[in-house]
């Protein structure tokens, strides 16, 4: 009976290692195959990105001078816009001051603006305290130089 019990326990503890390792070996082989496929796909993407990178960098180098000229033109236009905005602000202030001085209501600007000139008055409207300063003149020659240069300006 003791021998039978020992045989039962021996068969119970007997392991079929080869079948267990076979499934593990299949999983490992499958995983290695997938890793090789992923590596080849990543290598193709890397090569394609390298080609795209070279093409894009060549285009950037090719159009660099044109982009710098365009940038200078944009900066020149920005300067013109700022100067024009300042001149418009000055003129608006002067118009508002003139409207107040002439007593023009803002209901109908065109009619009320010409009303003092259309009236026949014996006394001339002049106020020696009012000083009208002309807006700053915009020098377009410096701006036009940026537009006229066809080769890259430095």
For the chain, what is the HEC assignment?
CHHHHHHHHHHHHCCCHHHHHHHHHHHHHHHHHHHHHHHHHHHHHHHHHHHHHHHHHHHHHHCHHHHHHHHHHHHHHHHHHHHHHHHHHHHHHHHHHHHHHHCCCCCCHHHHHHHHHHCCCCCCCCCCCCCCCCCCCCCHHHHHHHHHCCCCCC
Question: What residue ranges do the domains of the chain occupy?
Answer: 13-62, 65-119+130-154
The pLDDT of residue 11 is: 77
Mean pLDDT of the 49-55 span = 83
Whether pLDDT at 128 is above 90: no
Q: Tell me: the pLDDT tens digits for 58-67?
A: 888 898 999 8
pTM above 0.85, yes or no: no
């Amino acid at each position: 009976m003791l021998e039978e019990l020992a045989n039962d326990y021996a068969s119970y503890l007997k392991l079929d290692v080869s079948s267990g390792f076979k499934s593990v070996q299949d999983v490992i082989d499958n995983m290695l195959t997938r890793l090789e496929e992923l590596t080849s796909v990543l290598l193709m993407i890397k090569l394609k990105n390298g080609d795209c990178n070279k093409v894009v960098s060549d285009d950037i180098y090719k159009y660099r001078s044109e982009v710098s000229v365009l940038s200078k033109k944009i900066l020149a236009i920005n300067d013109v816009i700022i100067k024009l905005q300042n001149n418009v602000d000055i003129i608006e202030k002067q118009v508002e001051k003139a409207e107040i001085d002439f007593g023009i209501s803002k209901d109908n600007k065109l009619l009320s603006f010409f009303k003092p000139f259309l009236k026949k008055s014996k006394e001339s409207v002049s106020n020696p305290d009012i000083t009208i300063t002309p807006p700053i003149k915009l020098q377009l020659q410096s701006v036009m130089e940026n537009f006229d240069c066809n080769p890259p300006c430095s």
